[in-house]
Amino acid sequence: MTITTLDQLPPGPQARVTAVQLTGAERRRMMDLGILPGAAIAVALENPLGDPTAYRVRGAVIALRREQAQHIQVEIERA
Amino acid sequence: MSVDNAVTQPTTSIAAGCATCPMYNGAQLTRLGINMTDWDFVVALAGNPNTGKSTVFNALTGLRQHTGNWPGKTVVRAEGGFLYGDKRYKLVDLPGTYSLLSTSVDEEVARDFILFGQPTVTVVIVDATRLERNLNLALQVLEITDRVVIGLNLMDEAKRHGLQVDDRRLARDLGAPVVPMAARQGEGVQALLKAIHEVATGACAPRPRRINHRDPQLESAVAQLVRQIEFAFPGLPNARWVALRLLDGDESIERAVRDGTLGQLTQTVAPQPAPTIHLELEAVN
Ligand SMILES: Nc1nc2c(ncn2[C@@H]2O[C@H](COP(=O)(O)OP(=O)(O)OP(=O)(O)O)[C@@H](O)[C@H]2O)c(=O)[nH]1
Ligand SMILES: [Mg+2]
């Protein structure tokens, strides 16, 4: 199992959120988007410009900026 | 709440969420389009992005709000009317939102109307194939009002994916009527109308299950703030919710309080001069 941050997750494998290293309003926003420990997440659409990236989580596609994604710790589950 | 192990019920019963619901024959729907000068009730259509809110709006009003299979189509609120059971309804289609607590700019339109637009009934359209995600908003709405109807939409999609959703159990767990629907095919629209009518007229009085977080210190801080908020913004609905957001450090609500724009969000209240609310939150810790 590889632990990394969401901004480093390559397209393809599915990962699971292990920690959200944000506080206050930013943490609340992630939770409301369904991004909290235990949630399955994968890259849905890579942005040729690299930022933001769209992720598939709990059945919806959510766009996150790299600046947000780097605070989300994930465990890569399968390729 | 797990979708996978729920059991399906072939009925479209809405009675489970509402012990007082009388069963009577469905009245006739008359679509009024944009002709709704006087209305008896206002109904808000809330829900996550792309759950079929505008599809329901079009079915009830005869209007043609933009629909399509991607999120974020509705960006401003749209209004239309219908007549049902001798009552005139104004229906408000809202942009999709994931939450009332943390909102993007697009979502603020929906949040503001749900909280301060004083709808008689709030219909939350949820996606039956993504219940876990959708119940977040539904539970937040149930925290602020009893007068809620849950439209459990995309039931055809759920079936297609082999998902079985126990709508009666869901209604019982939430304490609000749940109407299974496939809005694009018009399925469940009559049952939804009936549920809206019953909640609007008071024939059905939902008793939502709420999280009990009674903490004496928190409650006294909330009570203090509520008094000040109600003094600064007479007639503002959901002052308790505003107080909780201030205690949570919600910057957008704090700004709206400071510059007085909070008062403009209610249609019944004229803009107020900037109020003086003391936000000495440290004092209550
Ligand atoms: N299969 C199926 N599709 C549906 C149903 N209801 C709506 N749709 C489709 O789902 C898509 C989204 O519907 P909309 O009514 O635009 O959804 P919305 O909630 O208003 O979306 P936003 O305004 O973007 O938040 C459209 O393609 C609809 O035709 C349904 O019950 N079953
Ligand atoms: Mg819409």
pLDDT in tens, chain A (79 residues): 799 999 999 999 999 999 999 998 899 999 999 999 999 999 998 778 778 999 999 999 999 999 999 999 999 997 6
How confident is the model over B190-220, as pLDDT tens digits? 999 999 999 999 999 999 988 777 789 999 9
Cα separation, B79 vs B93, whole angstroms: 6
pLDDT tens readout for residues B228-273: 999 999 999 999 999 999 998 888 899 999 998 898 887 544 444 4
User: Domain B24-208 is in which class?
Assistant: alpha beta
Q: Which ligand is nearest to the CA of B78?
A: 2
Can you give the residue ranges of every domain in chain B? 24-208, 216-264
Residue B179: exposed, middle, or buried by beta-carbon count in 10 A (0-12, 13-18, 19+)?
A: buried
- Residue B129: its chain A contacts at CB < 8 A? 59
| Closest of B133, B62, B202, B20 to residue A32, by C-alpha | B133
For residue A59, what is the nearest residue in chain B, using CA coordinates?
B130
Ligand 1 pocket residue status of B49, Cβ below 6 Å: yes
Instruction: Write down the pLDDT at residue B9.
Output: 37
- At B186, list the tokens: 């018009």
Interface touch B132/A25, C-beta < 8 Å: no
Give me the pLDDT at residue B18, please. 58
Kindly give the distance from the C-alpha atom of residue A3 to the centroid of ligand 2, in angstroms, as a whole number. 38
DSSP string, B79-121: EEEEEETTEEEEEEE----S-SSS--HHHHHHHHHHHHS--SE
B182 lines ligand 1 (CB under 6 A): yes
For residues B98 and B130, the answer to whether their CB atoms sit within 8 Å is no
| Full-model pTM | 0.88
> At B47, which amino acid appears?
G
Ligand 2 centroid vs B58 CA: distance in angstroms?
10
- How close does chain A come to B21, measured CA to CA in Å? 32
Look at B132 and A24 and tell me if their CB atoms are within 8 Å: no
Residue B142: CB partners within 8 Å, gap ≥ 6?
Answer: B148, B174, B175, B176, B208, B209, B210
pLDDT confidence of residue B160? 98
Q: B37 to chain A nearest CA, in Å?
A: 37
- CA–CA gap between residue B270 and residue B1 (Å, rounded): 43
Q: Higher model confidence: residue A46 or residue B78?
A: B78
- Residue B33 Cα to ligand 1 middle (Å): 19
Task: Tell me the best of B48, B50, B130 to mutate to test the pocket of ligand 1, counting ligand atoms within 8 Å of each CB and taking the most.
Answer: B50
- Ligand 2 center–CA B111 separation, angstroms: 15
* Most B CBs within 10 Å, among A32, A33, A45, A55, to test the B interface: A32
Whose CA is closest to atom 4 on ligand 1? B184
Contact list, A38 vs chain B (CB under 8 Å): none
Give dist(CA B23, CA B60) in Å, integer: 21
Q: Does the domain formed by A2-76 have CATH 3.90.1310.10?
A: no
Smallest-distance ligand from the CA of B71: 1
